[in-house]
Structure 1
Amino acid sequence: MANVSGITIGLEFDSKSKLKLRAIAKHVGALADELDRIDNAWMCDCGSTEYKTTFEDNFLMDNQCMGCGKHFSLPIDDELPTQLESSD
């Protein structure tokens, strides 16, 4: 008896199915990126994820937790998206 080291499955798709799978893969990648941003979002020691950012003359002056009032520094680009992103 031959020694089989794995299983091979061959699949064939028509053109529309291939395009659909590519679209799914593209959006799954964008979803994974957004979920990663959510997982890595800032959270205060009090458990709040809401904060107020104060600017003066377009310069970041202060970040303050809305839960406990603690002041902290946070990179400006570390904010979560406010609307769904499209990956065109």
Structure 2
Amino acid sequence: MPRLGDISINLNFDEKSKLKLRAIAKHVGALADELDRIDNLWQCECGAINYEEYHAEQKAYRRECKSCGESYLIPNDELPTRLEGSE
């Protein structure tokens, strides 16, 4: 199999184009965070994702499924530590 050589590309952007690319990068990052949040969304054993959350004790929260009523203790280390989209 032949070996391909390195390819070098130079791109020059004006200031507006640079700002546009930065805006795109910022929103792509926020989108990736949101998709990750959806992938890691808590789900009850019944398959529902809607729940109420209550403070149960210092080291845990209680989540109660709105669909089946099942209740779970969730350790604080599984709860989000930053706001969505924050840096």
How high is the TM-score relative to the length of structure 2?
0.69
Stretches of structure 1 lacking an aligned partner (at least 5 in a row):
none
Query: How many residues are aligned here?
Result: 80
CA-to-partner distance for each residue in 1:30-87, whole Å, 9 max, x for gaps? 111121111101011111001122348xx77632111221110235644xx8xxx666
Stretches of structure 2 lacking an aligned partner (at least 5 in a row):
none
- Aligned Cα RMSD in Å? 2.8
Aligned to 1:19: 19
Kept in 2, the 8 Å contact 1:26–1:87? The answer is no
CA-to-partner distance for each residue in 1:9-37, whole Å, 9 max, x for gaps? 21111110011101111111111112111
Q: Percent identity?
A: 52
- Which residue type is aligned with residue 30 of structure 1? A
Kept in 1, the 8 Å contact 2:61–2:73? The answer is no
How high is the TM-score relative to the length of structure 1?
0.68
